[in-house]
Amino acid sequence: MNKVDIACIIDDDPIFVFGTKKIMKLANFCNSFLVFHNGEEALNHLKPIIESNNDSLPDVILLDLNMPVMDGWEFLDEFIKIPCEKEITIYIVTSSIDPIDMDRAKDYDNISNYLIKPISSQKLQELMSASE
């Protein structure tokens, strides 16, 4: 299993964040977490890191769609504009099963998968084995 160094969770739901972090820890998914409560917060933090080509960039981003201030799509639109050498795996993690959203996710090359909440440890393990 290829362990991830930094996993980034962008979600406004504290329970989800709590649960996900817990599951990831249990599954030993990653070494550390970066957590943001909306797209803007994430962008403001990630942009300077990317531009300085810092090592503390996350390897995986779990992105919620429905968020206040800046939603997941808006974040994606801004995020992909930033030139980045490191390959970052982005997962959409949402409770939306709207086919429109699912279709839209396919338009982004950077998005590796579309996950429907909640995330179980079983699902996480599937992911880890898929990214191997």
Contact set with other proteins (CB under 8 A): 13, 15-16, 19-20, 22-23, 26, 66, 95-99, 116-121
Q: Which is nearer to other proteins, 43 or 63 (CB)?
A: 63
- Both tokens of 79, joined, read 């995020």
CB of 117 to other proteins, least distance (A): 4
CB of 5 to other proteins, least distance (A): 23
Question: If you search the block for the tokens 């998968």, which residue do you land on?
Answer: 113
CB of 108 to other proteins, least distance (A): 21
CB of 103 to other proteins, least distance (A): 11
CA–CA distance, 58 with 46 (Å, rounded to integer)? 9
Q: Which is nearer to other proteins, 66 or 89 (CB)?
A: 66
Strands of the 89-94 sheet, one edge to the other: 30-36, 4-10, 60-63, 89-94, 111-116
Q: Of 33, 4, 23, which Cα lies nearest the Cα of 115?
A: 23
Report which residue type is found at 64: D
Q: Which is nearer to other proteins, 47 or 123 (CB)?
A: 123
